[in-house]
Amino acid sequence: MTDSLYNLVLNCLGKRAEPLQVSLFTLRSTMGAMIDLLIERQISAQLWVKLPQHAEWFSELNRYSEAVETATIYWMGNESGTPIDPSQRWQRLALPTQSAMQREFWLAIASESLNAIVVAHQPPLKVAGEDLNPPLLALISFETATLEKAIRHLGKADLGMLNRDPEQALLVLHSLVPQLIQRLQAAAQPMAIAPELSSSTEAEVLLEELRSKDRFVNNVVQELRMPLTNMIAALTLLNSPKLRPDQRQRYFNLLNNECNRQRSLIDSLLDLLELERTQEQVQLRRVLLSEVIPGVVSTYQPIAREKGITLGYTIPNNLPPVSCLDHWLRQITVKLLQNAIKFTPAGGQVQAIAKQHGDFVEIEFQDTGIGIPRHELPHIFDRFYRVRASASESGEDLSPELSTGTGLGLAIVRQLLLCCGGSITVNSQVGKGSVFKVLLPIYR
């Protein structure tokens, strides 16, 4: 019982684990959204909880136990000081004093409908002898096997309600997750801040941060919903016995494209989250452009050649090293070349040209593509922004192939460059092409 529940879940998930850095506010919002869903669907569940000892956290559990009288709640913590309603029929589990779980919070749900666990860990951090409280690291899982191991770890293994039928569990999860996402959207609304705090500068900064995160969450939900909707539609149509072979192939192609789009979106989101989590801890290194860019260009030359595009580079041998990371520079190059190739028609050219520019190394990614309208230029580095309106100043629509994408590639490039102390700018003319100018500081 002295082991960390967080580490147990982390090990169960293995390579699928994606810890998120969250605040107590975000953790409470997530748990509250799950409780709301249990109440709305009248799901009788067994809950295992350990929460901060504040009344507002336990009020969510009070609501649930009053709304669903057959629910069972096991809570772990110190009996003294816990704001629990004495009339509630909750069962207490002892918490060992030397346990790593002292620094953890969790909500585990076992039912015939929904199996889920949210667990957060606060890593200890000391600077110059001072104890600090860094953000929590959180994991969430809907896997029955992971939940079962977690419950056994807590020492109360009444697992009769667990849904162990993977097919049924998948169908239930498919119906519940969209509602859970909607609950999380509502929980993320920045109006949770007390109105009287808005007069202080600190509160205004926090309010703006929450508004920004709220916009980000809303965008994520919308972006994830679209490919899921298309996949569900394609699967429904594939069930029709009257489909011709060419129609069936078209729907299979749609499924394949949307799966790739979903994977690309999730990968990009994880890249952004990883950057936000680690950017202050990264130690920049000495990187030579000649050891990174030529390899990336050679990888994309066959793709460009297939489209009838000439792809090349000019990297002088005497360029000084830049302050970056190898994989960051590779990622920047990949995303800018992908964009250039995507928006350049057959017969066009794409070039990566580097030179020294004062205390920086400048890399120009040039293409002879369709260009970017003037009114789009201020927004192209925003998250989820795509060139939507037209491929020309006159309003000609972009083809569906060109208008798809995650809308995160350039945002990731800009974030990577900011982490390196660099920058990116763009000049573009519709019908003639674009030049993305990257500046990276010389390594000292």
Closest CA to 226 of 33, 380, 400: 400
Q: What is the DSSP letter of 98?
A: T
Last residue of a domain, one of 277, 303, 331: 277
Q: Which amino acid is at 12?
A: C
Last residue of a domain, one of 259, 277, 295: 277
Residues of the chain where predicted confidence (pLDDT) is lower than 50: 1-2, 86, 125-132, 167, 170-171, 187-200, 202, 205-206, 209-210, 216, 219, 388-404
Distance from chain centroid for Cα 385: 16
Q: Residue 415: how many CB atoms within 10 A of its CB?
A: 19
Handedness of CA 282, 286, 289, 292 (dihedral sign): negative
Helices 201-238 and 166-187, packing angle to 10 deg: 150
Confidence (pLDDT) at 418: 82
The DSSP bridge partners found for residue 433 are 429
pLDDT digits (tens, 9 = 90+) for 252-308: 777 776 666 666 556 655 665 666 655 556 688 899 999 999 999 998 898 899 899
Residues 115 and 257 grouped into a single domain: no
Last residue of a domain, one of 141, 158, 187: 187
Residues 289 and 259 grouped into a single domain: no
pLDDT digits (tens, 9 = 90+) for 62-120: 888 888 888 888 888 765 555 555 455 677 777 777 777 888 899 998 888 778 888 98
Residues 208 and 319 grouped into a single domain: no
Q: What range does the domain containing 196 cover? A: 189-277
Confidence (pLDDT) at 114: 78
Task: Please tell me the total count of domains within the chain.
Answer: 3
Confidence (pLDDT) at 188: 46
Residues 304 and 405 grouped into a single domain: yes
CATH number at residue 251: 1.10.287.130
CATH number at residue 349: 3.30.565.10
| Cα–Cα–Cα angle for 208, 213, 218, rounded to 5 degrees | 125
Contact 133, 181 (CB under 8 A): no
- For the whole model, what pTM was predicted? 0.45
Query: How many Å apart are CA 118 and CA 90, to the nearest integer?
Result: 20
**How do 20-22 and 136-141 pair as beta strands?**
antiparallel
Residues 195 and 182 grouped into a single domain: no
Contact 76, 50 (CB under 8 A): yes
Q: What does the block give as tokens for 334?
A: 């990949």
CATH number at residue 18: 3.30.870
Collect all residues with Cβ–Cβ distance below 8 Å to 286 and sequence separation of at least 6. Answer: 321, 322, 323, 443
